[in-house]
Structure formats: structure tokens, C-alpha cells
Amino acid sequence: MSAQPKKFYKRPIFFIPVIAVAVPMIWVAWWLGSPLFIDKTVNEDLPEAAIVSATTQAPATEAPPNAPPDADPAPTPSPAEGEPAAVPVAEPATQQPAGAVPSTPEPAPATTSAPDQPAALLSGMFKDADSRHRGSGDAAIYELVDGSLLLRVEDLDVTNGPDLHVFLSPGPDATERADVMGDGYVDLGKLKGNKGNQNYEIPPDFDLDEEWTVVIYCVPFHVIFSTAPLA
């Protein structure tokens, strides 16, 4: 009797296309699903360049201009031999009227140093996009000492997702894709972490006179995860 041929799914050649399809599908499933269960925390300090110091120094006491140098006191003549020494006579004290409070010199102003304070220009708070995409925390735009702008996100806690980006979208709020990608929107790059404190550089041509909203946005699926209107 002749040997029965193997069924097609038992042949080695069958597993090659199966593996070629399964591996990418598993990778895509992990890429899409893992952020929903894994949090990434990033904590960055506010750059020192964003701190504006206001220090007031007390002026030093200076001698009046053209003031003559202190002259040496005149020598006291020594008494002649056999004469009694002269006794200096004390000048009478200046009489002040009864009840007057004696004047005291005013103390020099103390040196004061104002606390270092960041120069925040716009700020807002993150809120939920919907019941499945939630977010909280603070967002603010700071002007650095060199005049550049920085978006600072603090205490961020947003639902994680695949390929989340930080957008600055025009308008007082963003609820639809058309709002997020309106004329002049700015993509500040990939979200560094769905939790923590983070900094994002803003392009130099950014217009602060417009109304803006910070948007945590899923680029591949065009889904809003959280927004923070700035004012």
C-alpha cells in the first residue's frame, strides 16, 4: 500500500506563512494593548533658566563728592614749665524741650532678596476627554530668561495609550479632531510619560496672543485622551 500524504496543515511549509502573519499581529496587539496596563512615570525638574531672580541690594553709604579728607587734629600745646596744665572745658549739652523724644539715627535699609519665581504666562488644568480617556494635572507655559518658551506639565496622570503626543491646539477647547489639528496647531512631540512632571520646548514663532489648549492626542487613531485649556 502507498503511504498516505500528510495533511496540508501538518506539512512544515504550512508553518512558514502562519509564523510570518502571527508574529506581526502579536507585536501590533502588544503595541496597542500594553500601554493600557503599563504606566510610565517621568519626572523632570523645571530648568534653572525658567527661574527669574529679583534681588534688591541696599545701596552702600558713600562719602559726598569733593569732600575734603579728614584733617589731623591740631596738636595740643604743651604747657610752659612751671605753669599749670590747662583743663579742657566741656561744652554744654544741647538742651531739648521737655517731652521731646531724643532723635536716633535711622538704620540702613537691610538687603532683601525676593524669592525665585517662575515667569508663567499661561496655565490650565487637564480634564477627562470621556469616560475611557481620563486625565488630570497642571499645564503652564513659561518664558525662560533667554526669551524662549517652555510647556511645563506637572502632576500629570492620564490614561496611557499607543503613540500619544502633546499638541498645542488653537482655540479655547478641543473636542474633535478638527479642533486639535486646526490652523496653526503645534505638535510638541511624543508624550514622555503618562505620569509625572515634564518639559516640552515650544517653537520660537509661537503666538501667545491666541487662545490655546494642551491636548494629549493618540496620533494613529486620532483620539483625544485629555485636554487643558490655557488662560
What confidence score (pLDDT) does residue 77 get? 56
- Which has the minimum average pLDDT: 40-49, 88-97, 161-170? 88-97
With beta carbons less than 8 A apart as the criterion, state whether 130 and 226 touch: no
Q: What's the number of domains the chain is made of?
A: 2
Residue 102 lies in a domain: no
Question: Does the residue 103 lie in any domain?
Answer: no
Q: With 90 as the cut, is the pLDDT of residue 6 above it?
A: no
Local confidence band at 56 (pLDDT 50, 70, 90 cut-offs)? very low
- Highest average pLDDT, of 10-14, 50-54, 62-66, 71-75, comes from 10-14
Q: Select from 120, 127, 121 the least CA-distant residue to 216.
A: 127
With a cut of 50, say whether residue 114 has pLDDT above it.
Answer: no
- Alpha carbon 156 to its chain centroid, in Å, reads 14
Q: pLDDT over 70 for what percent of the chain?
A: 54
- Domain of 203, CATH number, reads 2.60.40.200
Give the separation between CA 206 and CA 168, rounded to whole angstroms.
Answer: 10
Q: How confident is the model at residue 130 (pLDDT cuts 50, 70, 90)?
A: very high
What's the grid cell of residue 182? 486646526
What does the H/E/C string look like for the chain? Answer: CCCCCCCHHHCHHHHHHHHHHHHHHHHHHHHHHHHHCCCCEEECCCCHHHEECCEECCCCCCCCCCCCCCCCCCCCCCCCCCCCCCCCCCCCCCCCCCCCCCCCCCCCCCCEECCCEECEEEEEECEECCCCCCEEEEEEEEECCCCCEEEEEEEEEECCCCCEEEEEEECCCCCCHHHHCCCCCEEEEECCCCEEEEEEEECCCCCCCCCEEEEEEECCCCEEEEEEECC
Query: Is residue 218 one of the residues assigned to a domain?
Result: yes
Residues 134 and 229 in one domain: yes
Asked, for residue 185, whether it belongs to a domain, the answer is yes
42-46, 72-76, 154-158: segment of lowest average pLDDT: 72-76
Mean pLDDT of the region 41-58: 67
Give a yes or no: residue 44 inside a domain: no
Please answer whether residues 187 and 217 qualify as being in contact, where contact means their C-beta atoms are separated by less than 8 angstroms. Answer: no
The domain of 15 spans 9-38
Same domain, 131 and 226: yes
Number of Cβ within a 10 Å radius of residue 216: 28
Whether residue 108 is predicted with pLDDT greater than 90 in this model: the reply is: no
